[in-house]
Structure 1
Amino acid sequence: MSSISSPRPFVYAGSRLECSGADLSELAAQFGTPLYVYSGDAIAERARMLQQEFAGVLHTICYAVKANSSLAVMRMLGELGCGFDIVSGGELERVRRAAPEALGRVVFSGVGKQAWEMDAALDAGILLFNVESEAELEVLAERAQALGKIARIALRVNPDVFAETHPYISTGLREHKFGIAIERAREVYQRAVRMQGIEPAGVSVHIGSQIRSVEPFAEAVRRVRSLVEDLRGDGMDIRYVDAGGGFGIEYGKAEFDPAARVAEYARALREVLDGLNAHLLLEPGRFLVAQAGALLTRVLYTKQNGKKHFVITDAAMNDLIRPALYQAHHEIVPVVKDERAVQVADIVGPVCESGDFFARDRETQELRQGDLVVLLDAGAYGMSLASHYNTRVRPAEVLVEQGRARLIRRRETLDDLLAAELI
C-alpha cells in the first residue's frame, strides 16, 4: 500500500483523503472527475521556502510558467513577489492577465522566439531575454531598433555539465538544441555589445529538469561566474546571473525533505557566487507546484485478461501524459482507505492506445468500479501538457486554500473543443 509523506498536502483524515483540509470525495461530487486539485497553501510554502533561503542574496524567483500555467496559480505567485520564466508569447499574455505588475520581472527563454513574440515582450518591458543563438540575437536587435526599444539580454550558455535525469529533460550538453557553447560566449557577447538595441546585462544557464543533486548546479554556475568575470573585464555591465531551474522532487515513496534540499541548494549557489555582486535569477517550476497537485479520477471498470488485471479510470493519457511520455512514476492512492486485499494491476485510461497507462503492475488496495483514486505529484506538467486526443475534453481545476476549494478552470464542453473548427 502506498503512503502519503509529509512534503505532500494530500493526507488522510481517518480513512478519507484530504487536500489542505478539503475532502476529495466532496470535491469529486461537486466538480466531477477527472479533476486537478492543487493546494495553494503548499505552493506558497515552497515559494517562501526559496525566498527565505536566498534572503541574504539579491534575487528574484521567476516561476517557470510551462510547469503549470493556471492563471490563478500565477496570480498567487505574483502576489508573493515572484517573477516569471516564459517560453512563448502565449505565456507572456498569461502573465499580463494574471500578474501585470510582474511584467518587469519576466525572463523570456526558448530557442525559437518569433518576431511578434519579441515585439510583445519589448512592449511589455520585460526584465531579460535569454538569447539562445546568434541568429536570434540578430532578429532581436532588428525588432528592438524598429520599436525604438532596448532589449536587455543574457546569453543562455551551454556549460556542457552532465546532470543525471531523463534524456528528454536534460539540456546542458553540447548535443542539445539549447544555448550557446560557453567557449564561444565571450565572442558573441563582444558582438552583441556593438549591436544597436541590445544591452548585454546577464548570463543565463539551465542544465535540465528533475535534477536531485546540487553538484551539477554548482558546477554550471561556477563556469558562469568565470564568464561573468571575463565579460566585466571586457567592460560590460553584467549584473544578472540566471541559474535556471530544474530542482527535482521525489515522485515515489523515498524520504524527501524540501526545506533541507532547498537549504543545501541555496548554500551551494551562495558559495559559488560569493562576492560577485550579481542579481540572482532562479526559475523553479516543478519544485513549487508538482507535489502541491494531484489528478483525481474515478474507476470506470475493472477487468481480467489472462493473468493481467486492469483498472480503467475516467482519466487518460490526454489528461496526464507523463507516464506515457517519460515513463514517469506517480504514486496512486485511494481516496477512501478500506480494509481490502492488496492487488497488483495495470491502472489505465480509456484512450485507444496501449501507451495509455498510469502504472503497470502497481500494488494498491483492491480497487472497484466507482472508487476514487488520486495520482499524486501531478501539479507540474500535468494540465499544461493535457490535450484533446480522442476528442476528449480537458479536466476542471480546483485550488484549495486554508480548507476552502474554488474552481479555477471549468470543465470544457464539446462545444469548447470544436469551436475553432470550420466545415
Structure 2
Amino acid sequence: MDHFLYRNGQLYAEDVPLADIAAAVGTPFYCYSAATFTRHYQLFVDALSGMDHLVCYAMKANSNLAILKLLGDQGAGMDVVSGGEYRRARAAGVPGDKIVFSGVGKTADEMRLALTGGIRQFNVESEPEMEALNAVALSLNMVAPIAVRVNPDIDANTHEKIATGRKEDKFGIPISRAREVYAHAATLPGLKIIGIDVHIGSQLVDLAPFEAAYRKLGELTAVLRADGHDITRLDLGGGLGIPYERSNADPPLPSDYGAMVQRVLGDLGCEIEIEPGRLIAGNSGVLVSDVIYVKQGEDRDFLIIDAAMNDLIRPAMYGAYHDIVPLVEPAPGTEKHMYDVVGPVCESGDTFAKRRAMPPLKAGDLVAFRSAGAYGAVMASEYNSRPLIPEVLVSGDQFAVIRARPTFDEMLNRDTIPEWL
C-alpha cells in the first residue's frame, strides 16, 4: 500500500495534489510520502515482534537526511556502506549504537570514523579487512564489534546485477571457510565477535532463497558456538522485493517473512537484525515529469518527457519497469495509446519504456513514475549538465522541499579552470 491515490480526478500524495507541487517547484521532481515510509518500516517491526530485533534501514535506497530523521525518530537503526552514509546517519540524529557498517571496501579512514563516532557493528567481508580493522582498533585503544559476512552460495533468482549470495559474487567469505576465519578473528585483540551476517540479494519475490540461506546460517551458528564463539546476533540482510509492475503477483509480505524467520531461527536465542531498504522506500516515492513533445516516428510514437536517465537510471541500468501514470485520472473506458517513453539525454539508452500502453497524452501533461522512492535520487547524476532534481516530502496536507534543485551557477562554480589555461 502507498499514499499516492487519485482523488477527484487528480493524483495526490497523501492530502496534497501532485500538480500543486509541480507548480511550486517545477518538474521533474521526486515526491515522498512520510506516511508510507513510516507504515512500511512499522510492518517490519510488527513482523519480528516477539523476537529481540532491530530493523536497520538500508539507507543506500534513499539517504536524504529528512528521510533518515523520519525513520530514526521511529526507532530505526541504519545500515551504511560508506563513510559518507555514516556521516549522513549521524547528522540525522541516529546514534552510533544503531548503525551497522557493511560493504566490501571499507577504508582505514572509514573504520576510524565509525569507531570514534560510535558503531553497533562492522559486517566484515574478508580477512584483509579483518586485519585492517584490528590494526585501526588497536591504534585507537578500542575493540571493534564484528559479524563476519558469509556467502552461502544461494541463487536468489533476482537480477544479475543485484545478486550477492552466490560463490561468484564479491560479497562475504565462503561459508565453507567460516570456521577457520572465525578462529583467526578470535586471535585478533582489536576485534570482538558478536554474530554472523548474510545478505543474498535485492528484489527477491520468493521466500525460498531466504529460508535456504537462513537454514545454513542456523547450522553455522551451532558449529561456531561449539567452537567457543559467542554468537549472539544474526544479521539477515535485506532484499524483500516490491511489486513494480502492478499486474504481476505481489511479493511476500513482511509478515510472511517474519513468520519464516521465527520458524527457522527463533530457537537460537539470537538478536535478529534485518536491513530492508527497497521495501521501505520504493513505493514511498514517485518521480513527476512533464511531457515536452509527442513525436511521431516511423513505426511508433515517442512520449518525450523532461525527466531523463540521469534522474532515474534504473530502466537504463537494469531494464527496470516502473508504472507511468498521468496526474489527471483518465475517464473510465479511455482507449490506450502505445508510446515509447523517453527522456532528452543524448543516449538511446535514455528510454523508460517501450511500447507502453497509456492514455493519450499531449505536451504539457504531467506523469508520475510509481515506485521511484528507492534507488532513484541516490543514483542520479548531472550527466548532460542537467541539475539534480528536487526531492519533496509530504506529510498530510503539507509539503517541503528536502533537497533543492541547484542553479546552473552553483553547478558551474564547482569546477575550477586552472590559471595556466
Q: Fold conserved (TM > 0.5)?
A: yes
The answer for the alignment partner of 1:81 in structure 2 is 75
From 250, 271, 274, give the equivalent of 2:266.
Answer: 274
Residues 347-377 of structure 1 show CA distances to partners (whole Å, capped at 9, x for unaligned) of: 1100000000111110100110000000000
Q: In the alignment, does 2:157 pair up with 1:183? A: no
Indicate if the aligned counterparts of 1:204 and 1:242 stay in contact, CA closer than 8 A.
Answer: yes
The answer for the alignment partner of 1:206 in structure 2 is 199
| Amino acid of the structure 1 residue aligned with 2:231 | I
The answer for the alignment partner of 1:148 in structure 2 is 141
Please state how far the C-alpha of 1:304 moved relative to its aligned partner.
Answer: 0.9
Following the alignment from structure 2 to structure 1, what is the Cα–Cα distance between the partners of residues 180 and 335? 66
The answer for the alignment partner of 1:3 in structure 2 is none
Q: 1:278 to 1:136 in 2, by over 3 A?
A: same
Following the alignment from structure 1 to structure 2, what is the Cα–Cα distance between the partners of residues 93 and 285? 18
Matching of residues 359-378 of structure 1 within 5 Å: 359-378=353-372
Q: In the alignment, does 2:222 pair up with 1:229? A: yes
Matching of residues 158-307 of structure 1 within 5 Å: 158-254=151-247, 261-307=253-299
Following the alignment from structure 1 to structure 2, what is the Cα–Cα distance between the partners of residues 97 and 202? 27
Residues 136-161 of structure 1 show CA distances to partners (whole Å, capped at 9, x for unaligned) of: 11101010001111111111100011
Count of residue pairs the alignment pairs up: 415
From 387, 411, 421, give the equivalent of 2:415.
Answer: 421
Indicate if the aligned counterparts of 1:333 and 1:374 stay in contact, CA closer than 8 A.
Answer: yes
TM-score scaled by structure 1? 0.96
Q: In the alignment, does 2:327 pair up with 1:349? A: no
Following the alignment from structure 1 to structure 2, what is the Cα–Cα distance between the partners of residues 310 and 254? 23
| Amino acid of the structure 1 residue aligned with 2:291 | V
| Amino acid of the structure 1 residue aligned with 2:103 | G
Matching of residues 41-120 of structure 1 within 5 Å: 41-100=35-94, 102-120=95-113
From 351, 367, 374, give the equivalent of 1:380.
Answer: 374
Indicate if the aligned counterparts of 2:162 and 2:202 stay in contact, CA closer than 8 A.
Answer: yes
Please state how far the C-alpha of 1:295 moved relative to its aligned partner.
Answer: 0.2
Following the alignment from structure 1 to structure 2, what is the Cα–Cα distance between the partners of residues 76 and 164? 32
Unaligned segments of structure 2, at least 5 residues: none
Please state how far the C-alpha of 1:186 moved relative to its aligned partner.
Answer: 1.0
Following the alignment from structure 1 to structure 2, what is the Cα–Cα distance between the partners of residues 286 and 394? 21
SS at match of 1:160: coil
Indicate if the aligned counterparts of 1:83 and 1:103 stay in contact, CA closer than 8 A.
Answer: no
Residues 216-268 of structure 1 show CA distances to partners (whole Å, capped at 9, x for unaligned) of: 1111111111111111112111111000000001101236668x611111111
Following the alignment from structure 1 to structure 2, what is the Cα–Cα distance between the partners of residues 257 and 42? 17
| Amino acid of the structure 2 residue aligned with 1:236 | H
Indicate if the aligned counterparts of 1:249 and 1:256 stay in contact, CA closer than 8 A.
Answer: no
| Amino acid of the structure 1 residue aligned with 2:309 | M
SS at match of 2:27: coil
Q: 1:419 to 1:278 in 2, by over 3 A?
A: farther
SS at match of 1:36: strand
Following the alignment from structure 1 to structure 2, what is the Cα–Cα distance between the partners of residues 405 and 223? 46
Please state how far the C-alpha of 1:99 moved relative to its aligned partner.
Answer: 2.0
Please state how far the C-alpha of 1:113 moved relative to its aligned partner.
Answer: 0.6
Unaligned segments of structure 1, at least 5 residues: 1-6
Following the alignment from structure 1 to structure 2, what is the Cα–Cα distance between the partners of residues 422 and 246? 41
Residues 351-407 of structure 1 show CA distances to partners (whole Å, capped at 9, x for unaligned) of: 000000111110100110000000000000000100010111011011111232111
Please state how far the C-alpha of 1:420 moved relative to its aligned partner.
Answer: 2.8
TM-score scaled by structure 2? 0.97
Following the alignment from structure 2 to structure 1, what is the Cα–Cα distance between the partners of residues 20 and 215? 50
Following the alignment from structure 2 to structure 1, what is the Cα–Cα distance between the partners of residues 16 and 231? 47
Q: In the alignment, does 2:324 pair up with 1:332? A: yes
Q: 1:419 to 1:256 in 2, by over 3 A?
A: farther
| Amino acid of the structure 2 residue aligned with 1:189 | Y
- RMSD over aligned Cα atoms: 1.2
| Amino acid of the structure 1 residue aligned with 2:293 | Y
Following the alignment from structure 1 to structure 2, what is the Cα–Cα distance between the partners of residues 52 and 341? 42
Indicate if the aligned counterparts of 1:154 and 1:200 stay in contact, CA closer than 8 A.
Answer: yes
Residues 60-102 of structure 1 show CA distances to partners (whole Å, capped at 9, x for unaligned) of: 00000100011000001101111000000000000110124x3
Indicate if the aligned counterparts of 2:51 and 2:266 stay in contact, CA closer than 8 A.
Answer: no
Indicate if the aligned counterparts of 2:324 and 2:367 stay in contact, CA closer than 8 A.
Answer: yes
| Amino acid of the structure 2 residue aligned with 1:369 | A
The answer for the alignment partner of 2:306 in structure 1 is 314
